[in-house]
Amino acid sequence: MPITRLGAVDYLNARPLVFGLELRSDLFAVRFDPPSKCAALLHEGSIDVGMIPSIEFLRGSEPYLMVPGMGIISRGPVASVALFTALPTERIRTIAVDTSSRTSAGLLRILCAETLGIDPAFVPMPPDADAMMARSDAALIIGDPALYLDHAARGLRKIDLGEQWTGLTGLPFVWAFWAGRPGAVTSAGLEALTTARDAGVAASDAIADAYCGPARAALGRTYLRDNIQYTLDEAAAAGLRRYYELAEAHGVVDRAFPLSTY
């Protein structure tokens, strides 16, 4: 049986989706990278299936297939994707954008137009809050750095992009999901990914404890329980389709096309 080269995201929110996969070396060779790197590896053919930012599904040189029924999803506040600023929203002219994920940057462009009412310049930067805030009026930060950032201690407001999206559309937001080329994963591999997801959700407290350490374990537990969901149901699929429609309308992507699964 061929081994599937699996590219996973190196954030807390992805850990339940890969729970126990290190024991399935008969099926997978797993590596961990930032979201944008996972997408680049899939696009260049260095991995077979990647946990890619959802916008990257539209950016492959050939159509990808989704692994059905699972993803990294929020229904309201996500806690780990946010715009941080000390200014009133209407005074924001420049935003430093975390280069780790293009989905969040695309979503921010949509929200700036649809809900925030601003048209700022975007400055791509690594996720260093101090450097980002020194250079720009606001900073888009994602993943663990956003989750752990004590914005109140820095005198910053936190505008949660998941909350903004659900307020705009009434729908969940799909941040990432497994995707690859046709034939890249076997039926046994698909079953193993589903098993990993189910076991990871059941063990989310233990995952948070091991990943976050004692000082942040409580925060990690709450985050995995209350902010992130891992079942891509019809409501989540509707949210994903709406994101693609708005991404096309606002020039984030050239075109949207239907979702296809393994």
Same domain (yes/no): 189, 64: yes
The angle formed by the CA atoms of residues 115, 121 and 125, to the nearest 5 degrees, is 110
CATH label of the domain that carries residue 91: 3.40.190.10
Say whether pTM exceeds 0.85: yes
Among 132, 154, 169, identify where a domain stops.
Answer: 169
Q: What is the pLDDT of residue 35?
A: 87
Same domain (yes/no): 184, 58: yes
Give the mean model confidence (pLDDT) for residues 165-180.
98
Same domain (yes/no): 105, 231: no
Same domain (yes/no): 86, 106: yes
In the block, tokens 């091991």 appear at 210
Pairing outcome for strands 81-85 and 138-142: antiparallel
In a domain, 247, yes or no: no
Q: Record the tokens describing residue 17, joined without a space.
A: 């989706």
Poorest-confidence range of 25-29, 61-65, 112-116, 150-154?
61-65
Among 134, 169, 204, identify where a domain stops.
Answer: 169
Q: What is the pLDDT of residue 239?
A: 98
Q: Would the pLDDT of 153 be above 70? A: yes
Same domain (yes/no): 160, 180: no
Q: What is the pLDDT of residue 256?
A: 85
Query: In terms of residue numbers, what domain contains 208?
Result: 4-73+174-235
pLDDT band at 101 (very low <50, low <70, confident <90, very high): confident
In a domain, 258, yes or no: no
What SS3 state is found at 81? strand
Q: Would the pLDDT of 51 be above 80? A: yes
In a domain, 243, yes or no: no
Same domain (yes/no): 57, 94: no
CA dihedral 33, 37, 40, 46 (to 10 degrees): -30
Q: What is the pLDDT of residue 3?
A: 94
Q: Are 190 and 67 in contact (CB under 8 A)?
A: yes
Q: What is the pLDDT of residue 62?
A: 79
In a domain, 150, yes or no: yes
Same domain (yes/no): 52, 10: yes
In a domain, 230, yes or no: yes
Distance in Å from the first CA to the final CA of the chain: 18
Give the mean model confidence (pLDDT) for residues 228-244.
97
Count how many domains the chain has.
2
Q: Would the pLDDT of 98 be above 70? A: yes
Q: What is the pLDDT of residue 1?
A: 66
Q: Would the pLDDT of 108 be above 90? A: yes
In a domain, 200, yes or no: yes
Q: Would the pLDDT of 31 be above 90? A: yes
- Mean pLDDT over the full length of the chain: 95
Among 169, 197, 217, identify where a domain stops.
Answer: 169
Task: Report the interhelical angle of 234-249 vs 161-169 (nearest 10°).
Answer: 90
Q: What is the pLDDT of residue 204?
A: 98
In a domain, 163, yes or no: yes
In a domain, 34, yes or no: yes
